[in-house]
Structure 1
């Protein structure tokens, strides 16, 4: 089943979820802002997508913590403590992970 790391306050995340629902694709919604993230999961996202792809550099906390000059471990710990730093929506299906930006990119998970 497709896992969607979702923030309902994000328009891109909501649009991605709507695409999945319109296509009647079963989805496990993970509200990562309320939990559901681990350091190992974030490390896997970073390894697969690239750390610079999964972090929201425009967040105030990114600048406050001076993460631009931080090492990977420090950045991942900051993301765990401040989940709003995670770019979204991230989707996972059968071990494949994508950042669905734009939301229509979600269909890439269904093509080999």
Structure 2
């Protein structure tokens, strides 16, 4: 079953969700802003994305700029910042089995879920 970490206020996230809905595949929507992932869940997602935690941060968000931008943070601290402020998590994230993708490019998402 697919999982989509979704923010309904984000156009890219809505487009990605619509693509998944039209695919007729079984999926689960996770509203990560109201139900943030745990440290373990986010660490697993980052592992499935095959990226560094910093690469999942929305670095233009005001919270990041004001509180974290100029700090030297290790991976654990970056993950904790995203858990404390889930708006910092890049979206949408689509998880399929042991792999995941940041779903901003719908063509890539189509290939990923096929």
TM-score by length of 1: 0.88
1:87 maps onto 2:86 in alignment: no
TM-score of the aligned structures, taking structure 2 as reference length: 0.86
**What is aligned with 1:75?**
78
Is the 1:3–1:92 Cα contact (8 Å) retained in structure 2? yes
Q: Can you list the C-alpha shifts for 1:67-94, whole angstroms capped at 9, x where unaligned?
A: 4532211111110010000000101111
Q: Normalized per residue, which structure has more helix?
A: 1
Which of 93, 101, 106 pairs up with 2:109?
106
Q: Gapped runs of 5+ residues in structure 2?
A: none
Q: Is the 8 A contact 1:49 1:97 kept in 2?
A: no
Which segments of 5 or more consecutive residues in structure 1 lack a partner in the other structure? none
Work out whether 1:53 is the aligned partner of 2:58.
Answer: no
Alpha-carbon RMSD across the aligned residues, in angstroms, is: 1.6
What residue is the counterpart of 1:66 in the other structure?
Answer: 68
**Correspondence 1:24-39 to 2 at 5 A:** 24-39=24-39
Give the length in aligned residue pairs: 111
Cα distance in 2 for residues equivalent to 1:20 and 1:4: 9
- Report the 3-state secondary structure (helix = DSSP H, G, I; strand = E; otherwise coil) of the residue aligned with 1:49: coil
